[in-house]
Structure 1
Amino acid sequence: MSGKTPADGQDWRVFHATGSAPDGGPRTLPEAPPWRRFGGGPALPPPPDDEQAARRRLGHAEPVSQLDEKSIDTVNAALLLRRPLLVTGPPGVGKSTLAYLIARELGLGQVLEWSIVSRTTLRDGLCSYDALGRAQAIAAWQAGMRAHLAPDDAAPGDSSRSVPALGDFITLGPLGTALLPYDRPRVLLVDELDKSDIDLPNDLLHVLENGNYEIPELVREADSQALVHTSDPGLRAVVNDGRVECREFPVVVITSNGEREFPAAFRRRCLPLEMRTPTREQLLTMVESHFRALPSDAGTLIDDFMERVRMGGTHSLDQLLNAVQLTTKSGFQTDAARRTLVELLLRDLAKGR
C-alpha cells in the first residue's frame, strides 16, 4: 500500500499491515513524544519469539490485511504516540489477530495475552504473590535448619542455608511483564475488556498514563532488589525497590465486542479502531494462508458464510476455517452429510445454541 508521504518524501508509517517478518533486522520506531517517554532500567534482553502462536493466528503464508488505509493510519498513530488501540467489531472478526500482525511485522517478539473475564482485576494483570507457597517454603527451611544445626554448635544467625527469596513467589502478569524496561516495546493483547467488572477500565488509567506500578510485597521488603518470574516462560527479571517502570511504552491492543461503553477518561487515552467483516477476496486469501493452498469448494463455503453474515447472523472466522477443514479435507462422500455439518459449523452464534 502506498500510504501518505510527507513533504520530505519519507513514508511516516512503520506498519503496513503486511504481517511480513522484517528483513535485515527489526524496524526502528521513531522516538516517542516528550510526554510519552519513560525512564525505566536497566534494559532487559529482547523477548523471545513465538512463531508457532503467530502461525496459528496468521497462517503460513503472508497474511491478507483486513485494514484499509484509514485503519492502517490509526495503528501507526497509536505506535508513534505510544497510545493503546481500542479495537471494536463483531466477535470473531480478527481483532485479537491484529496484535500478532503488529508483533510479527515489527519484530517485537512474543505477544503477551491478558484475557479478561468478569472477575479480572488490575492486580491479575500486574502480578501475583503466592503467600501460601512462601509460608510453606519458610516452614520447610526452618525445619531443615533445626535438623542441620546441632544444639551445641548452632548459632542463631547461621545462614548456611538461604532463606527462601521473596521474588521466587512473585510472578508478573501480562501487563506487568509488558511494562518491564525493554529497549523496544512489547506487544500486549488485552482481550475482551468489555467482559470486565465496571471498575477495571478506570483502574487501568494510572498504568496506561504513567507506565509504571509498584509491587506492595517488594516495597515492604528490606532488600532493594528481587528476582521475580515473568509471563515469558522460564524467564525472570530484577525489580528494584519494588517498582517497575517501562523504557518504551508497550504496544497495547485492547479488544471489545461492544457489549458496554467505556468511561470517557479511558477512551481519551486510547485510539479507536473498528474492524469489519472481511471481503470475499480477503476471506479467500485468509483460507489459502492457513491451508497453504486454496482447498476445493472453499469458494462455495465462503459465499455461504458471507450470505449468513449479510442476513444479520453472528459468525466468526474460525467457524469458516473449521467448515473448510472438515468438509474439504475429511472425505465426506454425501451431500446430505456435508450439508448437515455445514449447518452445525456455521450456525448463528447469536441464537445461543
Structure 2
Amino acid sequence: MSAQEQTSPNGWRVFHATGNAPATPPRLPEPPPWRRFRGAPAQPAPPDDPEAAQRRLGPHDITLQLGQDEIDTVNAALLLRRPLLITGPPGVGKSTLAYLISRELGLGRVLEWNIVSRTTLRDGLYVHDAMGRAQAIAAWQAGLRNAPEADVNSAPESSDRQLPPVLGDFITLGPLGTALLPYDRPRVLLVDELDKSDIDLPNDLLHVLENGSYDVPELVRDAADTARVHTSDPSGRATVHSGRVECREFPVVVITSNGEREFPAAFRRRCLPLEMRTPTREQLLAMVEGHLGTRPESTEDLVDLFVQQVQAGGTHSLDQLLNAVQMTTAGGFQVHGDGRKLVEMLLRDLAKGR
C-alpha cells in the first residue's frame, strides 16, 4: 500500500456495506506488524456458497443498513486483524453481517460455529474420531490375518490395499480450526451467540485469537511429519505439518452476542465492539424489498405494525416480518381484515415465550 493510500481518508476502507459482489476482490490493507503470521503451506482458495449467502442476504442488492461509524468499525477490524464483537437484540442481522462482509470482499464460504452451553474450544478446532480409527485398525489387522500368505507378499496393488489407516483420515478441523489454515486471503468465521457458551470458553479463545495458531496433539505425537486432514468445507482436505496449524492471514472473525452475559475484560480487549440496533422503517422496507424482489401492497402496513411493536418494548426478529409479508402476499390476507389473527401470531412478542 502506498503512502498516499494510507493517508487518503478512504484509502483504508474496503468495506462499504453495499453487499455487492465484486468483479475483482479488493485488496485488503496490510496488517500491523504484530498481526502478521507465517503459516504454510498455502491452501487453495476456499469454495463459494452463493446459496447460503442468498438465504441470509436475499437475491438482490442490499441497501445500506449500517451507519458510517459502524462501517468504520468493521474496516478497523479488517485493518487491525481483530475480531468483531457484535451485540444487539435478536433478529437485527448480527450474524448476517458475516455474509455481507464475505460477499462484498469476495472471501468465499462463511464458516459457521454455532455455540451452545456444552461447546468447548476443541469443538471449534478439530475432532478426532478415535473410535472410527480403532475400528479401521482392527479391520485392517483382521484382513492381514485372514489374507493368504501369497497375497500379502505378492503384487504391489495388493499391498497397497493393506496399508494401515492413516491418522489424518480420522481428524476433521472444526470451523475455527479451518479458518486458521494458511489461506492467502482471510476466511470469514461466524461465532454465533458466544454468550450462550460455558463461562470458560471466551477465556479459552484468548490464546488462539492472539496467536493465530494451535496444535493438534494427536498429530504432534504421530510419527509422520505431515498429515492430510478433513476440513469444515464440503469434501475439503488440508495438509498439516508437525501437528501445528498457523494462519497466513488472520480470519475475519464475527462474534455475535445477545447480551445474556458480560465477557471478561481480557477477551473484550482483543475485540472491536459493534452494537447493532433495530433497523429504521426505511431500512426495513428496503430489506423486505431486497429479500422478496418486490414491495407487496401490504408491506408498509406490516412494517408500521412491526415498528410499533418494537417501540413498545417487544422482542421481534426480521424473520417474523419477512414471514408476515410472504404470508399476506401468497395467501391474499388483509393485515387489518381476515388475516389479522395470523399476522398477530407471526409478529408475536418473542420475549413472552408464546
TM-score by length of 1: 0.95
Cα deviations across residues 286-342 of structure 1 (Å, max 9, x unaligned)? 000111111111110000000000000000000000111111212337955411111
Counterpart of 2:83 in structure 1 is: 84
Name 1:238's counterpart in structure 2.
239
> How far apart, CA to CA, are the structure 2 residues paired with 1:30 and 1:241?
31
Q: Which runs of 5+ in 1 are unaligned?
A: none
Q: 1:64 Cα shift?
A: 1.8
Q: Please, which moves more after superposition, 254-263 or 11-20?
A: 11-20
CA deviation after TM superposition for structure 1 residue 218, in Å: 0.5
**How far has the Cα of 1:189 moved from its partner?**
0.2
Matching residue of 2:281: 280
Residues 334 and 340, structure 2, Cα contact 8 Å, conserved in 1: no
Cα deviations across residues 87-129 of structure 1 (Å, max 9, x unaligned)? 0000011000000000000000000000000000000000001
Q: In structure 1, give the amino acid aligned to 2:217.
A: P
Q: TM-score, normalised by structure 2?
A: 0.94
Assess if the C-alpha contact under 8 Å between 2:83 and 2:254 holds in 1.
yes
Aligned partner letter, 2:193: E
Matches within 5 A, 1:39-58: 39-58=38-57
Where does residue 97 of structure 2 map in the other structure? 98
Alpha-carbon distance, 1:149 to partner:
3.4
1:167 corresponds to 2:168? yes
Percent same amino acid among aligned pairs? 73
Name stretches of at least 5 consecutive residues in structure 2 with no aligned partner. Answer: none
Shift of the 260–221 alpha-carbon distance from structure 1 to 2, 3 Å rule, reads same
Instruction: Name the CA distance, whole Å, in 1 between partners of 2:150 and 2:45.
Output: 50
How many angstroms apart in 2 are the aligned matches of 1:110 and 1:152? 46
**Comparing 312-321 with 11-20, which one deviates more in the overlay?**
11-20
Corresponding position of 2:313: 312
Q: For the residues of structure 1 that align with 2:8 and 2:194, how far apart are their CA atoms? A: 40
In 2, the alpha carbon distance for the partners of 1:18 and 1:152 equals: 64
- Cα distance in 2 between the residues matched to 1:146 and 1:253: 52
Alpha-carbon distance between aligned partners in 1 of 2:151 and 2:22, rounded to the nearest angstrom: 67
RMSD over aligned Cα atoms: 1.8
Measured after TM superposition, the shift of residue 42 of structure 1 is 1.3
Greater CA deviation, 324-333 or 304-313? 324-333
Q: Displacement of 1:11 after TM fit? A: 3.2
Specify whether residues 146 and 112 from structure 1 end up closer, same or farther in structure 2 by C-alpha distance, changes over 3 A only. same
1:39-73 alpha-carbon deviations (Å, 9 max, x no partner)? 10111111011111111111111112221010000
Q: Give deviations 1:110-154, integer Å, cap 9, x for gaps.
A: 000000000000000000011111111111111111122328976
How many angstroms apart in 1 are the aligned matches of 2:151 and 2:336?
A: 87
Aligned AA for 2:44? P
Deviations 1:228-250 (A, max 9, x none): 00000111000000000000000
Partner SS state of residue 191, structure 2:
strand
* CA shift in 2, pair 1:351/1:327, >3 Å: same
Local SS of the residue matching 1:204 = helix
Please say if residues 229 and 239 of structure 2, whose CA atoms lie closer than 8 Å, have aligned partners that are also in contact. yes
Quote the Cα distance in structure 2 between the aligned partners of 1:134 and 1:7. Answer: 55
